[in-house]
Structure 1
Amino acid sequence: MAAAQDSGGRTGARRRIAVLIPCYNEEVAVPLVIAAFREALPGATIYVYDNNSTDRTREVAAAAGAVVRRETLQGKGNVVRRMFADIEAEAYVLVDGDDTYDATAASEMVRLLLTDRLDMVTAVRVTDAEAGLAYRPGHRFGNRVLTGMVRRIFGDRVSDMLSGYRVFSRRFVKSFPALASGFETETEFTVHALELRLPLGEVRTRYQERPVGSVSKLNTWRDGMRILRTILLLVQRERPLAFFASSGAALLVLAILLAVPLVATYVETGLVPRFPTALLATGLAILAALSMVCGLILDTVSRGRLEARVLAYLAIPMAEDDPEVAGEGLCPSPDLTPPKA
């Protein structure tokens, strides 16, 4: 057991399933999460990464039997980056440490990932009356708006972009360029999977209230604006032609609106009555052309980056083809088949 806790990636082949729990001041909730996932996935190794908690999160997590580590860079995205770099497994279950997600869905999500050879399975939160108090109307509305934006721009294959409960393949984890520092990391997961056209799955799960004494770290407006900013930056990075073409079209329309009266007057009188306006219209037209050219150039660059990411993804062997996982004498995966009545 000591080797399993201390050696990290070198004994990762024996950890066929890893449960990853990023935590910040979750002293009340994290023991419940650990107990629930230990029951749902008895053969999994549970990791808790503490993110500068000021309460007893680390102590209670260790007492509950989790492998506890620390990430000093503040923010969920920074914790996820460290987790993905440190841990080796065949399937990675990522869940928030606030005890709002249903651990009993984990076995179905892992089974779906492994049997259908998927790269990401997302827990889609239900929005019925039972979940109404936990899933606040502001959060639900924001999730619908932001998820709708991503579906329209990147592909109509996701239902709950901001879910904090997912299962990943090793291929996804080891090829994912984790750049976000905070809660925007869920947006990065989704866009990365959609851009690479990875096989995805979804499982509907119950979403419950936090336990008494546990406080949410989310700020609806602040974090919502950060996620919106991330989406716009991802559009610029992944779809530069559309981004800069839209900007160029807006500038061109404005230039035309300014130029039409001037051209009409010039045709009638042979004079340009408002010379500064003519200069402004010309400048806007030039900026529109430059924006279009930038979009074309960056689209070529983006295409090359996408090809490199696909090749990096394909360079990682499937779990059963990995000699470290498929070798003799390694611990078998936990039996996820429901017991017979």
Structure 2
Amino acid sequence: MFEDTIRIGAIVRKENSPGKGNVVRRAFADIEADIYVMIDGDDTYEAAHLPEMIETLISGPYDHVLGVRKDNQESTSYRPDHEAGNMMFNRLTGWLFQSHVTDMLSGYRVFSRKFVKSFPAISKRFEIETELTVHMMSLRLPSTEVPIDFRDRPNGSESKLSTFKDGFRILGLISALVRHERPRLFYGVITAILAVASLVFGLPVVWEFWQTGLVPRFPTAILAAALMGLAFLLASVGLTLDGLRRARRETSRLAYLGLPAVSVPEAGNVELDLPRQTHTHRQPPAARTSLAS
């Protein structure tokens, strides 16, 4: 298969570190283009939608176009557990980051150079889609969605996704991203839990002292005081990290603004070039498109 791809002019590179996230990280670092396309190589996404998605990115202009999978009951590749998990992650992420997304785990996306070169790409495996979505939400980048067809995998092809294993990885990543991107919410919830626990243990001790003037349960009193002290400490940590997050986000925003925007060509003048042409020839900005899978 690689030989056929090379024969038609594509550049194929090997990433030794396993995991989709590592491949995307390498591709985003090595490829220089104005428009980037990411599509899974399992032939479940309809490539015919690509011109429409690129045209949408340019005409917006947008920095991110998400291909939203349509559930075709005749040829769907959606497993019920994956569909339910995707819906749950969409709602959870949208609520946590105060934005809307319909299909955050889709592997079919089109990006601008500004998006790609401002994206840190920390994830190693399939949770990379979650990181891409949160990056778009946290920086409030111009984004839109395009419905796409989704079909069964070819015969002999098996999904590498594990419903529970990768699901827990995605949950772990969402938790880590909330801690980094919304520290006041993350540490605020923990602070509230510790404060409530402190009051539950401490109020009976205070009431008993008020009635008798004695504190017969010193261990409980010490535990309640320690929990309240820890709550105040974590609240301070959350406020401090929120200030650092704001400074980091401003720096990321300035770096994003320093990158060139996608040029808008004349109507009907959008071309798709092979990766070999993308890397070896200087062409007008709107004509250089990179494909990654």
TM-score, normalising length from structure 1? 0.76
Structure 2 stretches lacking a partner, 5+ long: 265-277, 288-293
Partner of 1:302: 245
Percent identity of paired positions between Structure 1 and Structure 2: 48
**1:93 aligned partner:** 37
Give me the whole-angstrom Cα distance separating, in 1, the residues matched to 2:165 and 2:131. Answer: 18
Question: 2:25 maps to which residue?
Answer: 81
Give 1:331 shift. Answer: 6.1
Q: Which residue of 2 aligns with 1:226?
A: 169
SS of 1:159's partner is: coil
Question: Within 2, Cα distance between the matches of 1:270 and 1:131?
Answer: 75
1:225 Cα shift? Answer: 0.4
Distance, in Å, in 1 between the alignment partners of 2:72 and 2:190 is 40
2:44 partner SS: coil
1: CA distance, partners of 2:75 / 2:104: 18
Larger relative contact order, structure 1 or 2 (CA cutoff 8 Å, min sep 6): 2
CA deviation profile, 1:4-32 (whole Å, cap 9, x unmatched): xxxxxxxxxxxxxxxxxxxxxxxxxxxxx
Partner SS, residue 68 of structure 1: coil
Partner residue of 1:152 out of 95, 99, 107:
95
CA offsets 1:2-60 (integer angstroms, 9 cap, x no match): xxxxxxxxxxxxxxxxxxxxxxxxxxxxxxxxxxxxxxxxxxxxxxxxxxxxxxx5345
Mind listing any 5+ residue stretches in structure 1 that lack a counterpart? 1-56, 335-341
Show CA shifts across 1:121-177 (max 9, x none).
Answer: 001011241354x10011011111111111001123211110000000011111111
Is the 8 Å Cα contact of residues 58 and 263 (structure 2) preserved in structure 1?
no
Contact 1:131 1:206 (8 Å CA) reproduced: no
Q: Does 1:280 align with 2:233?
A: no
Structural mapping, 1:248-263, within 5 Å: 248-263=191-206
8 Å contact 1:265–1:271 — kept in the other structure? yes
2:68 aligned counterpart, secondary structure? strand
TM-score by length of 2: 0.88
Provide runs of 4+ in structure 1 moved above 2 Å. Answer: 57-66, 329-334
- The 8 Å contact of residues 34 and 285 in structure 2, kept in 1 or not, is answered as no
The equivalent residue for 1:330 is 283
Distance 1:173 1:332, change over 3 A: closer
Q: Does 1:164 align with 2:117?
A: no
Quote the Cα distance in structure 2 between the aligned partners of 1:194 and 1:65. 36
- TM-align CA RMSD: 1.9
| Cα offset, 1:333, TM superposition | 5.6
Contact persistence 1:96–1:165 (CA under 8 A): yes
CA contact (8 A) 1:265 1:272 kept: yes
How many positions carry a matched residue from both structures?
272
Higher mean alpha-carbon deviation, 85-94 vs 113-122, is at 85-94
